[in-house]
Chain A
């Protein structure tokens, strides 16, 4: 399945990606599985997505947890805890 990915703030800066279109190898993916899949890209990816830093995720603009299921065509985003206001 195909998804669109976005990264924000520290993640965007460190991973040097703001957005990408991604083809996932099978049809059943959760946020946790996607993080593990991306972490295989290298050390910095593992540190950013599976390390000590808190990472929040959204699917189609809604905050979700690690168990959330991703569907074909979804927009997925990873970012640090928010600090607006």
Chain B
């Protein structure tokens, strides 16, 4: 189980290979990659800046992996999240989960993203042709997380 917060880009193929290395009990790997879009609510995004809370962010991501582990049979998991200044089409976040069967990896991956979006301390500031502004949290993201509290 690995958590990384970094300014550098990541190579999805390399990360998946590393996670699989030296294991023959993995039957499924599910990954999610989040990207910077050039359009957000009608504005032309030119740049996205991500801030985090060193220490707490890593702890929060580890706790999200641990919660997923208690709910599903997952063998390994990785979260990489970038901070600093990003451009449209840049990769922001990677979540990789491995398990014996696909169901556990699919569910755990989505669960981890829904919790990451609402609990892990990251903040996005968007720049467009009109200037800069902080992105507001969305209630749809809270709802996406809350359905895991009733579903299993």
Contact = CB atoms under 8 A, between A and B. Distances in A.
Interface of A: 6, 8-10, 54, 58, 61, 63, 77, 79-85
17 contacts: A8-B123, A54-B137, A58-B121, A61-B55, A61-B59, A61-B60, A79-B53, A80-B134, A83-B134, A83-B136, A84-B93, A84-B117, A84-B120, A84-B123, A85-B81, A85-B92, A85-B113
B56 A84 contact: no
Given A9-B125, A61-B56, A82 B51 contact: no
Interface of B: 34, 50-53, 55-56, 59-60, 81, 92-93, 113, 116-125, 134-137
Given A79-B121, A85-B117, A10 B56 contact: no
A80 B53 contact: no
Q: Majority SS of interface residues in chain A?
A: loop
Contacts of B122: 82-85
Nearest to A14: B134
Contacts, number: 67
A6 B118 CA distance: 20
Given A8-B51, A61-B56, A61-B59, A82 B113 contact: no
Nearest to A77: B53
Given A8-B51, A81-B137, A85-B34, A58 B56 contact: yes
Given A10-B134, A61-B55, A84-B116, 4 more contacts: A8-B53, A61-B59, A84-B120, A85-B120
Contacts of A80: 123, 134, 137
Contacts of B50: 84
Contacts of A10: 123, 134
B124 A83 contact: yes
Contacts of A85: 34, 81, 92-93, 113, 116-117, 120, 122
Determine which residue in A6, A61, A77, A79 has the highest number of CB atoms from chain B within 10 A of its CB, and name it.
A61
B59 A83 contact: no
Nearest to A12: B51
Determine which residue in B51, B59, B81, B113 has the highest number of CB atoms from chain A within 10 A of its CB, and name it.
B51
